[in-house]
Amino acid sequence: MLQRSNDSKFPSLTDRFVQYAKVMTQADESSESYPSSACQLDLARILVSDLQELGIDNASVDKYGYVTASIPANDPAFENVPVIAFMAHMDTYPEVSGENVVPTFHENYQGGDIALPNDGVVIKASENPYLAECVGETIITADGTTLLGADDKAGVAEILEAMTRIVENPDFKHGPFKIAFTPDEEVGAGVKYFDVKGFGATVAYTMDGGERGSIENETYCADSAIVKFIGRDIHPGYAKDIMVPSIKVAGEFLSMLPRDLAPETTCDMQGYLHPISITGNTSSTEVAVLLRDFDVDELGPKAELVKEIANAACSKWPGSSVEVEIKQYYRNMKYDLAKEPRAIDYAMEAIKRTGIEPALGSIRGGTDGSNLSAQGLPTPNIFTGEMSFHSLTEWVCEKDMELATQTILQLLTVWAEKEGN
């Protein structure tokens, strides 16, 4: 275990993160249960126990795996301050292993690439320019065989650490606030059963961002296309002019997707089409394609393009057919956040008070905040330090986790000062 200096403002932060990172919570996108993997409940129970040990007796986990807790104001002057909330998700990305995570410390990082212990995995400085901002700090990675899970267990640990500091310092005055930890964010279902109205918050903050100082008020609009190609099977020895191999039709479809409309060729505010899985056989093959754009009006044309390409692929294989199902996931939260300007204004002020410059930006992805904002709970996203997430090269800077924890505390202070009696 890393030995930290005695003057650390957050002495248990890294220990908490390591503890949570070691708990397997990988989501399962093929599951029809909720949460999608039972292992997420293991962390949920740990978090309830940790909150109760801090004296938050109302901490609980419901049948869906949502962990919630309510903390009242501790000063009469702040009892009428609007209730704010801090949220993070417990699950990890389903396509990279999150089992048997081995957090690995790189103290006093001096720049350059970081070689991980196993499998020849290297975090390349050229692919991670933000590493240059972390020289002299402690970098935490996995060992090269799994992801780290800083997305979003860094956020989970930061919220718990902020709670610890509040409990241990009764002179820290604040208004009422709530905490929530959610399952299945990584499969687009993080708040599928979350009771926004019953939760009772005016504004929430997901702790699920990257670089220090970042606050994000805009996300992708996200749909997916399930493209099912139907062929015809027969014994291959007697297949001439009869067999229609659906898997080859699917391959035709994949080859026709525009190269300039892919994740690997787009950046900034550009959208994309991204095939993420293919399963099937001669008779039937299914391809899942992600549709992403910051402008909701551009999702429809992207869906039509997928259908056009699928039909064109079928036209090259007479006797084949295709079915396309479009599923909605989440929407850009920018328009909903504009209705509650305090959410961003007070966050910008809180970040400034930690001594760093806030950076307002967009996410080429989504958070639970996308759906929460659409349901009437404005929820921007705050940095945690998590970087290169969804990969074997995921890492987090310990200093950034400390700054994120400070930001949580400063948010409570700013809301109390601005909205108190």
**Are 313 and 322 within 8 A, CB to CB?**
yes
Residue 206 CB: number of other CB atoms within 10 A? 28
- Whether 185 is catalytic is yes
Alpha-carbon distance of 164 to 13, in angstroms, equals: 9
Q: Where does residue 249 rank: exposed (0-12), middle (13-18), buried (19+ CB within 10 A)? A: buried
Alpha-carbon distance of 309 to 286, in angstroms, equals: 15
Q: In what order do the strands lie in the sheet with 284-293?
A: 272-280, 284-293, 221-230, 321-330
- Whether 91 is catalytic is yes
Output the six-digit token pair for 89: 């998700």
Alpha-carbon distance of 56 to 71, in angstroms, equals: 7
Q: If DSSP codes are grouped into helix, strand and coil, which group holds residue 400?
A: helix
What values do phi and psi take at 323, rounded to 5? Answer: -125, 135
From the list 185, 223, 336, 386, the catalytic residue is: 185
Alpha-carbon distance of 417 to 345, in angstroms, equals: 13
Q: Considering Cα of 8, then 10, then 12, then 13, what sign does the dihedral take?
A: negative
Residue 13 CB: number of other CB atoms within 10 A? 24
CA proximity to 199, closest of 369, 69, 333, 60: 69
The count of residues in the chain is 421
From the list 28, 50, 91, 152, the catalytic residue is: 91
Residue 314 CB: number of other CB atoms within 10 A? 21
Q: Active-site residue numbers?
A: 91, 185
